[in-house]
Structure formats: C-alpha cells, structure tokens
Structure 1
C-alpha cells in the first residue's frame, strides 16, 4: 500500500455536498485532496440524514485513492475520529473534554461537535467531516434520545475559521493515516478505546430492525461494537448508539 499521504486543498464557496464534489473530481485525482465548502446545499450525514450547513461551520472531505478491501478501508473512520480529536485538543488544550462515540462522532462536553461519513466508489474514498465550529442545530432538531449537538464557540469561547481548523486537522489525519498504513489497525484501536465515550457502561444499540441494550465492552479488530448482554456478547457492525 502507498505511503503518499501529502494532500492538496481547495475551498469552494458553495456545493451540494463535499463528498459529492469529491466523486466528481475523482477521475482527475492525482493525490489526496481536501475539499472545503463555505456552504452546502445538500449536506448529509449517516443514513442519508440531512446535515444542517450554516456558513461558518466546517464542511470538508478528504478524497483519496484506496486499494485495500472494503472492510479495511472502513477502518479509516476511526483514524478520522482520532485525527479530529487530535486537532481539537491541539487547538483548545482541553484533552479531557473531547471523547469519541462509536461509530463515528466526536463529543465535546458530552454533546456532538463533529461527525464523519465515509463513502467509496471504485478506488476513491471520500471521508466527509462536519464540525460545528460556530453553530449547531437545536436539540429539538435531532431524534429523541440522540446525543444533543453542541458547537466549539459556545462550549469553549474559541472562534475558528474552517481553513484554520483544517490547518490542524490535515496534519493530524496524515499522522494517523501513516500509522494505519505502517502498523495496521491495532494502535488506532487502542487509542480510540482510550478516548471512547461510555466504555464499560450500559448503552442502547439500535439497528433498522432491533434495539439491544448492554454494556459497551470494546471494539474488535474489525471495528465492530462489542456489546455484552445478559445472556450473550454480540459484535455489532453497524448501529445507532444511544446513551
């Protein structure tokens, strides 16, 4: 696998979504490319949920070529989450305030401050990242029981532009990607668990058809959630987690 992780950067005034823009640019992609947009008209999160995109927040996608099997490619969501946390801590100095929520959210003081959406097409991976830098939806805009959204400005008093945030995020991701390529998922898994929200506590994991409650025990070598229930222990590859 390649160790070429140097990435370019472009900033757009407006696009439908930075992930969609990444795939439009895929035929001409010569190296990893960060795509920022000041505004998105059709931003989305997991399960095609709309992502509210007011001007001033961070909407970015890293487009990159990948050659690994899909299951390996998907582990980059953990690299992205760790890189986000690395960037937040470098900016704020608040190491204890940022935690990671399985499978792909970053929490600040217990509220969701950032989310990640991985999408792949052919040999192109789009790592979409949304960060609430200066604004966040009201709690009423999320489904009941979901983690309430927060933003960096309200929680810390720090006002940051998207490009300034990327100045921290891009090298943080490059470092995590280099670790992933040279050492595999093991070190990422260990670091992710060290900052996992509600590890060892009771959580609810909801799929499209079932709701399960149990102790969040770990994640395995494939990134699955390990949920210990009264009669069994399950490895769950995809679910919505509620606290």
Structure 2
C-alpha cells in the first residue's frame, strides 16, 4: 500500500439509509480504503455497507493493475458490501453495476441513447470510454463470499489522452456538467437496487437490458487476451454475438465456431 491519504469526512447523510459514507480529499485508492474498512469490520464484528469517495487518488488503478488517472473533477468511488449471493454469481455482477452507472448518468441529464456498455465492464458515450469498473472480492474459509468491493471511476470533467481504448469525459461528450457528489448520490441509490436484484432475482432481465446497450454487438471486433497495451499474442478478431447466462461474451469465429470468453478486452477492429 502506498500513496498519500488524508483524514476522511463523514458523508453518510448522502447515502441510502444504513450505508456509511466517507470522502477523502486525497487517498491512495478508494478500493484500498474500502478493503481496510472490511478488515476493521472483521475485527470488530460490525459488518455494514459503505461508500468511499476521493476527490483525487495518488495510486488509483483499473483492471489488471493498470494505473487510473485520478485528477479532481471526476468521480472515484468504491462500494463495500457483504453479499448473500453464491460465489458463481460474481461473473454476472459487472453487468448489474454497469446498468446502475448508466441509470445514474441518465438521472443527471445524460441522453440515454448516447450510452453503451462494453464487455466486460466499461461504459461508453458516443463510442468513447467514460467509466470503468474494478470488482474485488474476498472469500470465507468455506469459499463463500465474505465481502465485495466495487471500484468505479467516471470521467466527468476530463479523460486521459493515452488510454488503451479511446476515452472522453461526460462534459466533452455531452456538454452536461455533473458534480461528483451529485452523481455519487444517484449511483448509491441505483446500485443498491441492482445489488438487491443481483442477489435475489434471475439474471435474464439484466442480461437483456445490458444487451440492449451492448457496444459492438453483431459486429466484427478485436479481442485482446494479453494485459500489455502492445501485447497482441492473444489478439484475434471475431463477431460479438451474445452475452451468456454466466456473463461470458459469446463470439463467432471466422470458421463459424462459437467461443465463450471470460476475460479479455474488446477493441474496434482494424479498418479493412
């Protein structure tokens, strides 16, 4: 653990009933702070959901440990909760979170027709990335889920210039200016509803709602299995066909076979 961290401000009044809220003007990473809360809860036997927000992060990260640029003006937040869902439900969780983010953005004035979801866990506006999701979980001895931390970064005011997938901010893409605190309130509300559904309701309605917003569906795209920006060893092109019931991306290969993917990144295919 590294990075500058100041004292947290209590923002529980902005959260749904029974949910704790903390805001840092700067911290290492909201996911790290949320994991520390989970550790404190384990020691004290007090297990309650919480949101951690930061104005900026000194050690923000995305999937596969990639750095997440964290200047003030965007939303950087993590949600800690203690689920009752079984371990195999984890693969379906990113799609519920993605829909919650879409609903929060729409509630703040973003045109719903402009927003799409890119497998496995990105949100786009006009085909450029505005949000990413990083989900981390801890297991109990019996392999049940102990707790989950959902990290969310949303480019509200600015976006990185060197992102692997073309990025934008909500303001640049739509002209809509959203305060991070206002969006966090909306997101805490929409995510609470989706998490309840994720734990107790069938996946099919979520699957259909996500597919209705799926970026690149039915088109040939490039899929990269490697983690490095220049690593094409695991890269191939295929047509995006479907989202499976377990959260896998179903693609159609050139030879007509279907393939299910459980990890990787999707990019626009090269122009012919």
What is the TM-score of this pair, normalised by structure 1?
0.91
Match of 2:240 among 197, 209, 216: 216
Distance 2:61 2:19 in 1: 24
Tell me the SS of whatever aligns to 1:171.
Answer: helix
Matches within 5 A, 1:1-243: 7-26=19-38, 27-28=40-41, 30-122=47-139, 123-138=146-161, 141-143=162-164, 146=165, 148-208=166-226, 209-231=233-255, 232-243=257-268
Given the two structures, how large is their TM-score scaled by the length of structure 2? 0.82
SS at 2:58's partner residue? Answer: coil
Give the whole-Å Cα distance in 2 for the aligned partners of 1:158 and 1:81. 20
Distance in structure 2 (CA, Å) of the matches to 1:72 and 1:114:
22
Name which one, 1 or 2, has greater alpha-carbon Rg: 2
Q: Secondary structure at the match of 2:26?
A: coil
Name the residue aligned to 2:9: none
User: 1:164: how far off?
Assistant: 0.6
CA distance 1:94–1:30, shift in 2 (3 Å): same
Tell me if structure 2 keeps the 8 A contact 1:45–1:51. Answer: yes
Following TM superposition, the consecutive aligned residue runs of length 4 or more in structure 1 with deviations greater than 4 angstroms are none
Q: CA RMSD in A?
A: 1.7
Alpha-carbon offset, residue 160 of structure 1: 1.9
Q: 1:5 to 1:202 in 2, by over 3 A?
A: farther
Q: Secondary structure at the match of 1:169?
A: helix
Q: Unmatched 5+ residue regions in structure 1? A: none
